[in-house]
Amino acid sequence: MTSQTGATPRQIGRYRIERVLGRGAMGTVYLATDPHIQREVALKTIRTPSLNDGQGTAEPSGAELTARFLNEARAAGRLVHPHIVGVFDYGEAQGVAFIALEYVRGENLAQRLAQHARDGSMMPLLDALTWFAQLLDALAYAHELGVIHRDIKPANLLIAPRGECKVTDFGIAQLDTGRLTQAGMMIGTPSYMSPEQYAGAEIDARSDLFSAGVVLYEMLSGQCPFSGAPAAVMHQVMNEMPPPPSTHVTSLPAELDAMVLKALAKRPDDRYASAQSWRNALFTLHDSFMARLDPDHTVVRAQPLRQTLAAPAGAARPDWPPEFLAQLEQRLASHVGPIASLLVRRAASHATDSQTLAAQLARHLSNDAARREFDTLLKQHVIASGDDSKRSTLPIESTSAACMPLDAEHVEAAARRLASHVGPFAHVIAERAARGADAATFRARLADALPASVDREAFLRAFDDPPP
């Protein structure tokens, strides 16, 4: 790897560098390829000079930067969610620390907002509410697992080409297992920091909700509610309430004003209690808007927002026996620790059958051996229960079947199509893409594995043709 000349390296660790995606004060993000599975990744690195001690400067020390970097890998690596950028790998090579992240084509929300500002246009309300609902779903999931992001802002929200919003950059996240900062220290982005962050006080998940409120204000009005010199921003955040978003966009309803200002309350107790409760309030408000706009088509027009997050319509969730869930929790805990309780509870609240339940839980296991062991324990539970109705629905096939709702023939046909683009690793990529995925997610994952030179739309259209 070349480093001192400033030239782009050809390789870092096992990752082949394609091009630079972005540069910052502390490092560079590259588009890279993992040659083992021919997958494109965003390779985030700490620039070699940043690994120096840094003492006597205003910049964080090399040790602190490395700690933040590892913190990001641990925080985001703990989270497996469609609206959180995935972490694949962490390592150090040739004096460079790196994180291999899911590569999300598209742009961040800050860029999208800047484009609207240049055009003199406002972000469409449905787009804003849809992306914000996805952000709240991601935050609800992260908070359940003990991760507080602490730097929610438009630049850390990616908008993918298919329209989904993904949260990234967990470098200063607070984990329930420890902290990079102590009480009395401020960390974050000034215009999006909560009052308690400025005060250096203890924070909880409601700090993220304040930051999310700032983001929503900006999406609705095109204006950041707190702006100016750093000292002025700090004074505004801690002491002043901004004018309602409708001050800037008069067509916004009063209910949205009230929602945003509740999120921006100075006292955490005056905000929404959780991201989940805010998400529920957002759905209720959205349905109310649709009823007022077009009473005859409320259900049809309200569907796009709910489709981003809600379970399939009419899908009845089983009444899971408490003892069965307790047994799953106990077995899962041997692999993931105390967060097993949260994982089982969340999976049970969303799964419509036991195979889906098993697939959702299996994705949290670290390797195939652990998944096989978990699957074996589930089989034993079914056999011991002697309940044929449960036996017909619980995953009693192989681990791959438990984690891959798609049938083997479908996956094999997809692998054959993929092989012409990525070579002999196509079967490995297809099998991994199928784990816990429905047909649409499976296709999207395969498209993400394609080299940049391949026409993704043509590849996806080929699924409508007979298999080769």
DSSP assignments along 233-301, one per residue:
HHHHHHH-PPPPGGGT-TTS-HHHHHHHHHHT-SSGGGS-S-HHHHHHHHHHHHHHHHHHH-GGGHHHH
Give me the pLDDT at residue 395, please.
37
CATH code reported for the domain at 107-307: 1.10.510.10
**Cα radius of gyration rounded to whole Å, the chain:** 23
pLDDT digits (tens, 9 = 90+) for 355-406: 566 666 766 665 556 666 666 655 555 555 554 444 333 333 333 333 335 6
Q: How confident is the model at residue 330 (pLDDT cuts 50, 70, 90)?
A: confident
Task: Evaluate whether 158 touches 168 at the Cβ level (below 8 Å).
Answer: yes
pLDDT digits (tens, 9 = 90+) for 22-65: 887 677 899 999 988 888 999 988 854 444 444 444 455 566 66
Distance, in Å, from the CA atom of 419 to the CA atom of 430, rounded to the nearest integer, reads: 10
Q: Tell me the binding residues.
A: 44
The domain locations on the chain are 11-102, 107-307, 322-403, 408-464
Choose the CATH number for 11-102 among 3.30.70.270, 3.30.9.10, 3.30.200.20, 3.30.420.40. Answer: 3.30.200.20
pTM for this entry: 0.62
Q: Is 229 exposed, middle or buried (0-12, 13-18, 19+ CB in 10 A)?
A: exposed
CB 446 within 8 A of CB 420: no
Active site residues: 151
Binding residue numbers for ATP: 44
For Cα atoms 295, 300, 305, give the angle at the middle one, nearest 5 degrees.
110
Sequence letter at residue 295:
P
In eight-state DSSP terms, residue 173 is P
Tokens 């978003």 sit at which residue?
A: 245
Q: Where are the alpha helices (DSSP H) in 294-367?
A: 298-307, 322-336, 340-350, 354-362
Structure confidence by residue, pLDDT tens digits, 63-122: 666 777 777 777 777 788 889 988 888 888 877 888 898 899 889 999 999 999 998 889
87 forms beta bridges with: 101
